[in-house]
Amino acid sequence: MREKLIFEHSVPGRSAAAQYPVESAMAPLPEALRRRTPPRLPEVSELQAVRHFTRLSQLNFSIDTHFYPLGSCTMKYNPRACNQYAMLPEFLGRHPLAPDATGQGILQCLYELQEMLKEVTGMQGVSLTPMAGAQGEFAGVAMIRAYHKARNDHARTEIIVPDAAHGTNPATATMCGCTVKEIPSLPNGDIDLDALRGVVGPGTAGIMLTNPSTLGVFERRIGEVAAIVHDAGGLLYYDGANLNAILGKVRPGDMDFDVIHMNLHKTFSTPHGGGGPGSGAVGVSERLLPFMPVPIVGREGDSFRWLDEHDLPQSIGRLSAFMGNTGVLLRAYIYMRMLGREGMQRVSEFATLNANYLMARLRDAGFELAYPDRRAGHEFIVTLRHEAREYGTNAMDFAKRLLDYGFHAPTTYFPLLVPECLLIEPTETESKQELDAFVEAMIAIREEAQTDPAKLKGAPHTLPVRRLDDVRAAKQLDLAWKPA
Amino acid sequence: MPFIPHTDDDIRDMLAAIGAGGMDALFDEIPAELRSRPLVGIPTAASEMQIGRLMAERAARDGRQLNFIGAGAYDHHVPAAVWAIVTRGEFYSAYTPYQAEASQGTLQLLYEYQSMMTSLTGMEASNASLYDGATALAEACLMAVRANRRSKSARILLPVASNPRYRETVQAVAGNQSLAFELLPYDASGGQTRVASLEKYRGQDITALVIQQPNFFGTLEDVDALTDRAHEAGMLVIAVVNPVSLALLKPPGEWGARGVDIVCGEGQPLGVPLASGGPYFGFMTTRMEHVRQMPGRIVGRTVDLDGKPGFTLTLQAREQHIRRSKATSNICTNQGLLVTAATIYMSLLGPRGLVQVASACMERSAQLVDALTRVKGVRLAFDRPRFHEALLLLDRPVRGVLEALAARGIVGGCDVSEDYPSLGNGLLVCATETRTAEDVEAYARALADIMNSAAAA
């Protein structure tokens, strides 16, 4: 099943004419500034375009069509109501620079979202503007730097990152002009506190931590970590990638974190959209309040307005031309209101129940767990090193064969510490029956690995394409269609 | 339980399989002193019906205004088919196409998008999007520092006539990496960046020049001369463009003798609603020689085991999940769903439709300027060729006038007097193809009323 490129459907002279505005006079432009040849855009009818893109959509796996246990991505159900009510025409038609008086309804939603996120994280202030987790991280580290600079403590430019961290953590530190100090994890998944004590000092700007970590386990000695870093004069950054695991159970603010980013597209169920938009709202402790990125919604009596650089002169500044991913924020707001106070806790309880259940079943079926003695958070790691050694079938082969069984693959080869690993995150919105079916598929695939490993090596067999040649893709770059 | 499918039997069986005494036992590794109190600051749950009603009330409170602001976000017609397809679950609820075989829909669409954007901008390679136009410019500046190997200074020239919000964002995002931004003045009579102002930098090490076309005032820059002068001085050239304008305007790949090096901008005009500020998307294209310095996801066409064509993420060695602290950027998630909208939009409009949209914008904008400058106390700041935006100067503070207009349901433009105090009472106005002759007339009447009444003076 292959769908032609839209350009291959194109026929000169054809058009979706209902979309054209009324004919207007040719614009009076100086000759030197004019375009001479038209851009190569397709010429298709409206039906052809609709059919083409509908067919393309059908080539995708998605949450709406498949179990999608992609570790560290929190692929939970995205309620349709969140989309419908965020796309009311009044919200969609409003220009971001229209006077605040014409946007009191939307500003109230955003203000209340800020307040709810403060409550659920235990932080003292929230800025909604970062447009993805990585930009939230950027805002967080930039605030840490601004804090030290404001105290004339210019030597603090080192960011400590555990070796299990997401790649965005060290990349963010670099973008903020910091250097990275990596510290190892212990065999049980906890941070090596001695190593931490060894690296902190007068150059320490802060530490970036995920808790539960990317190893899927809760850092039990978080209190000691916080004390070591704070005593050395550094600040603590909480990477909220795994907030789904502790929502309503523990608050980063109560763990003594100074700054946190939240992936609203994970924990608060806004859509992942085939790779965005995300939203990386940041929360801060008292001492970082003056440095938050702008704009922020402020309240005066019953009215709401944007606060900008005039209100927060020490702000790290503006991270987007307007107001971040506003429509994503509305979806998160609607989701949080539908869950309510009692629903927040249920998220982490059932996400953790599902993860621990799936982990127990896979263990009982003979799969090796990376951290068998630990309780799983909302995700856990299976290592397929035995299967790789005995049958010659690696984690990627299992991942690709799972696609044939109708399951999106878990995250593979991350975290980097565990060989041949699958990072599995079922989320709270999957049923026991779905999890059971996944276990059955894993068992069946292992049997195939024993009897017919080529079946895994050649997988997938039932999808629109078979395994793709990534090496060729990178060597013989073909990044744009050109007419033959 | 909203969105949670478990029955009592499921819970019992699952806890038994785990060997846990109850739900609380699942959290027994969390120190007791850290456990949260109840979240009293969060309201109790609302049903879908209740939240639907609440959102409808909030939306009604905001109402629908007649909009004449542009300033980086533009009010275009979005064909009904665009968001009907974008919100299909297969696009809406998928993630970054790491498993290429299970994501061919998203990947092929991104390849088609990259093809359209390279052709529209006259370049050779496109990424699959950045967050928005302002951050795209910040990333372009960082990329220029990597790509211009002969330059060691990391000094970037930014025109004062470029979007002030972009300049603020660039400073916030790239300022921490020792980039230095220096401002280039504009000609006070024409509103164009002064080509002669580049003379000052002759013999100095400058990494790149940024050119925004049309510039923030809506005025068209002398892009050929600016590009050539910059190249002669060893700078790279970064173009910031409005994609709809490129239906009519010379693509940056053809500016000057050699064309620019990096193109970026705000993708919102291509099928994305104003939506109070986002989500939008940033686009970026470049020449093949710089593709390895480009940040963000890139899709390539390749073949599968059977030799059949297929699509996959490529050049991932640039990215944070591989290179970590040495990556080209920390960007990970981008704005895929908005790119989906833009690709469908460009397919529906086609080359001729986009020309008609751009022409209609110019015609309507010219009518708007004509009608508004007939009002006493209003004049045009710069009478040079424009696209669909113009800077007006009022004989009194803009803010009061805009408030009076808003009270009549008209969002009359962007007050730029704070960003450009030397110009006086600057009001940036825009009309796109969605404004009718009647809309323009209604604005002009209301403005005349307000300007003639003492109250607003």
Pairwise CB contact (< 8 Å): B326 & A246: no
Cα dihedral sign for A437, A439, A440, A441? positive
Interface A-B, measured as beta-carbon pairs within 8 A, has a size of: 679
How far does Cα B247 stand from its chain's mean position? 18
Pairwise CB contact (< 8 Å): A19 & B273: no
The whole-angstrom distance between B375's CA and the closest CA on chain A is 22
For residue A215, pLDDT beyond 70: yes
Q: In what order do the strands lie in the sheet with B425-430?
A: B378-380, B389-394, B425-430, B414-415
First-to-final CA distance of chain B: 58
Pairwise CB contact (< 8 Å): B403 & A115: no
Q: Which pLDDT score, from 0 to 100, does residue A165 have?
A: 87
Pairwise CB contact (< 8 Å): B101 & A28: no
Which residue does chain A place closest to B324, by CA atoms? A167
Average pLDDT, chain A: 96
What tokens were used for B383? 């009478």
The whole-angstrom distance between A447's CA and the closest CA on chain B is 23
Instruction: Please report where in the chains the tokens 């976000």 appear, as a residue.
Output: B73
What average pLDDT does this structure show over A348-377?
A: 97
Which residue does chain A place closest to B4, by CA atoms? A429
For residue A302, pLDDT beyond 80: yes
Give pLDDT tens digits for A98-138. 999 999 999 999 999 999 999 999 999 999 999 999 999 99
CA distance B183 to B185: 6
Chain B contact set for A166 (CB, 8 A): 321
Which residue does chain A place closest to B314, by CA atoms? A474
- Looking at the partner chain, which of A326, A345, A411 has a beta carbon nearest the beta carbon of B276? A326
Pairwise CB contact (< 8 Å): B304 & A132: no
- Looking at the partner chain, which of A109, A122, A220 has a beta carbon nearest the beta carbon of B58? A109
How far does Cα B27 stand from its chain's mean position? 43
SS3 B40: coil
Ordered DSSP codes for B100-164:
GGGBHHHHHHHHHHHHHHHHHHT-SEE-S-BS-HHHHHHHHHHHHHHH-TT--S-EEEEETTS-H
CA distance B89 to A272: 10
Residues 6+ apart with CB under 8 A from A228: A193, A196, A197, A200
Pairwise CB contact (< 8 Å): A180 & B59: no
> Which conformational region is residue A385 in: left (phi greater than 0), alpha (psi within -120 to 50 degrees), or beta?
alpha
Largest alpha-carbon pair distance within chain B? 81
Pairwise CB contact (< 8 Å): B93 & A170: no
- Looking at the partner chain, which of A32, A56, A346 has a beta carbon nearest the beta carbon of B1? A346
Q: Which pLDDT score, from 0 to 100, does residue B456 have?
A: 45
CA distance B142 to B331: 13
Pairwise CB contact (< 8 Å): A274 & B52: no
State how beta strands B180-184 and B155-159 pair: parallel
The whole-angstrom distance between A275's CA and the closest CA on chain B is 4
Can you give chain A as a three-state secondary structure string?
CCCCCHHHHCCCCCCCHHHCCCCCCCCCCCHHHECCCCCCCCCCCHHHHHHHHHHHHCCECCCCCCECCECCCCCCCCCHHHHHHHCCHHHHHCCCCCCHHHHHHHHHHHHHHHHHHHHHHCCCEEECCCCCHHHHHHHHHHHHHHHHHHCCCCCCCEEEEECCCCCHHHHHHHHCCCEEEEECECCCCCECHHHHHHHCCCCEEEEEECCCCCCCCCCCCHHHHHHHHHHCCCEEEEEECCHHHCCCCECHHHHCCCEEEECHHHHCCCCCCCCCCCCCCEEECHHHHHHCCECEEEEECCEEEEECCCCCCCCCCECCCCCCCHHHHHHHHHHHHHHHHHHHHHHHHHHHHHHHHHHHHHHHCCCEECCCCCCCCCCEEEECHHHHHHHCCCHHHHHHHHHHCCECCCEECCCCCCCCEEEECCCCCCCHHHHHHHHHHHHHHHHHHHHCHHHHHCCCCCCCCCCECHHHHHHCCCCCCCCC
Q: Inform me whether the C-beta atom of residue B94 falls under 8 Å from chain A C-beta atoms.
A: yes
Q: Binning pLDDT at 50, 70 and 90, where does residue A444 land?
A: very high
Residues B236/B226, Cβ–Cβ less than 8 Å: no
Specify the long-range contacts of residues A194-201, CB closer than 8 Å, at least 24 apart. A196/A160, A196/A225, A196/A228, A196/A229, A197/A228, A199/A158, A199/A160, A200/A160, A200/A228, A200/A229, A200/A231, A200/A232, A200/A234, A201/A232
Residues 6+ apart with CB under 8 A from B88: A54, A57
Largest alpha-carbon pair distance within chain A? 75
For residue A148, pLDDT beyond 50: yes
Q: Which pLDDT score, from 0 to 100, does residue A423 have?
A: 97
Number of neighbours of residue B8 by Cβ within 10 angstroms: 7
What dihedral do alpha carbons B42, B47, B50, B55 form, nearest 10°? 70
Which residue in A3, A5, A6, A83 has the most chain B C-beta atoms within 10 A of its own C-beta, making it the best mutation to test that interface?
A: A6
What tokens were used for B230? 């910059």
Pairwise CB contact (< 8 Å): A275 & B319: no
Residues B235/B208, Cβ–Cβ less than 8 Å: yes
Cα dihedral sign for B56, B59, B65, B68? negative
Residues B133/B267, Cβ–Cβ less than 8 Å: yes
Give pLDDT tens digits for A45-102. 999 999 999 999 999 999 999 999 999 999 999 999 999 999 999 999 999 999 999 9
- Looking at the partner chain, which of A43, A85, A328 has a beta carbon nearest the beta carbon of B351? A43
Residues B183/B349, Cβ–Cβ less than 8 Å: no
What tokens were used for B452? 């003639």
Give how far Cα A206 sits from Cα of A283, B326, B371, Å.
Answer: 16, 19, 58
> What is this structure's pTM?
0.97
The whole-angstrom distance between B357's CA and the closest CA on chain A is 6
Which residue in A19, A117, A354, A356 has the most chain B C-beta atoms within 10 A of its own C-beta, making it the best mutation to test that interface?
A: A19
Which residue does chain B place closest to A280, by CA atoms? B333
Residues 6+ apart with CB under 8 A from B193: B159, B160, B161, B184, B185, B186, B187, B211, B215, B221, B222, B226
Which residue does chain B place closest to A364, by CA atoms? B17
Chain B contact set for A481 (CB, 8 A): 111-112, 115
Q: Inform me whether the C-beta atom of residue B377 falls under 8 Å from chain A C-beta atoms.
A: no
> Which conformational region is residue B265 in: left (phi greater than 0), alpha (psi within -120 to 50 degrees), or beta?
left
- Looking at the partner chain, which of B64, B165, B248 has a beta carbon nearest the beta carbon of A34? B248
Which residue does chain A place closest to B273, by CA atoms? A92
Pairwise CB contact (< 8 Å): A344 & B309: no
Q: Which pLDDT score, from 0 to 100, does residue B454 have?
A: 61
SS3 B71: coil
Q: Inform me whether the C-beta atom of residue B125 falls under 8 Å from chain A C-beta atoms.
A: yes
Pairwise CB contact (< 8 Å): B23 & A353: yes
Pairwise CB contact (< 8 Å): A274 & B94: yes
CATH topology of domain B80-344: Aspartate Aminotransferase; domain 2 (3.40.640)
Q: For a pLDDT cut of 90, what percent of chain A falls above it?
A: 92
Chain A contact set for B99 (CB, 8 A): 61, 399-400, 403, 408-409
- Looking at the partner chain, which of A131, A254, A339 has a beta carbon nearest the beta carbon of B36? A254
Domain extents in chain B: 66-76+351-456, 80-344
> Which conformational region is residue A156 in: left (phi greater than 0), alpha (psi within -120 to 50 degrees), or beta?
beta
Q: Inform me whether the C-beta atom of residue B438 falls under 8 Å from chain A C-beta atoms.
A: no
| Residue A10, CB-side half-sphere exposure with 13 Å CA sphere | 19
For residue A277, pLDDT beyond 50: yes
Q: Which pLDDT score, from 0 to 100, does residue B457 have?
A: 46
Residue B204 DSSP code: S
The whole-angstrom distance between B387's CA and the closest CA on chain A is 9
CA distance A443 to A447: 6
Q: Inform me whether the C-beta atom of residue B324 falls under 8 Å from chain A C-beta atoms.
A: yes
CA distance B33 to A437: 38
CA distance B7 to A471: 47
What tokens were used for B83? 């968001």
Q: Inform me whether the C-beta atom of residue B62 falls under 8 Å from chain A C-beta atoms.
A: yes
Residue A187, judged by CB atoms within 10 A of its CB (0-12, 13-18, 19+), counts as exposed
What tokens were used for A432? 């026991």
Pairwise CB contact (< 8 Å): B81 & A46: yes
- Looking at the partner chain, which of B94, B118, B266 has a beta carbon nearest the beta carbon of A321? B266
For residue A450, pLDDT beyond 70: yes
CATH number of this structure's domain B66-76+351-456: 3.90.1150.10
Q: Which pLDDT score, from 0 to 100, does residue B78 have?
A: 98
Q: Which pLDDT score, from 0 to 100, does residue A370 have?
A: 96
What average pLDDT does this structure show over A417-429?
A: 96
What parts of chain B have a pLDDT lower than 70?
454-457
The domains found in chain A, sorted by start residue, are 6-57 (no CATH), 81-339 (3.40.640.10), 346-470 (3.90.1150.10)
The whole-angstrom distance between A332's CA and the closest CA on chain B is 12
Pairwise CB contact (< 8 Å): A97 & B250: no
- Bridge-partner residues for B159, per DSSP? B184
First-to-final CA distance of chain A: 23
User: Above 0.95 for ipTM, yes or no?
Assistant: yes
Q: Inform me whether the C-beta atom of residue B8 falls under 8 Å from chain A C-beta atoms.
A: no
CA distance B174 to B295: 14
Q: Where are the beta strands (DSSP E) in B169-269?
A: 180-184, 208-213, 236-241, 262-266
| Residue B242, CB-side half-sphere exposure with 13 Å CA sphere | 32
| Buried b or exposed e, range A263-294, using 16+ CB within 10 angstroms | bbbbbbbbbbbbbbbbbbbbbbbeebebbbbb
Q: Inform me whether the C-beta atom of residue B37 falls under 8 Å from chain A C-beta atoms.
A: no
State how beta strands A125-127 and B125-126 pair: unpaired
- Bridge-partner residues for A380, per DSSP? A424
Q: Which pLDDT score, from 0 to 100, does residue B353 have?
A: 97
Q: Inform me whether the C-beta atom of residue B350 falls under 8 Å from chain A C-beta atoms.
A: yes
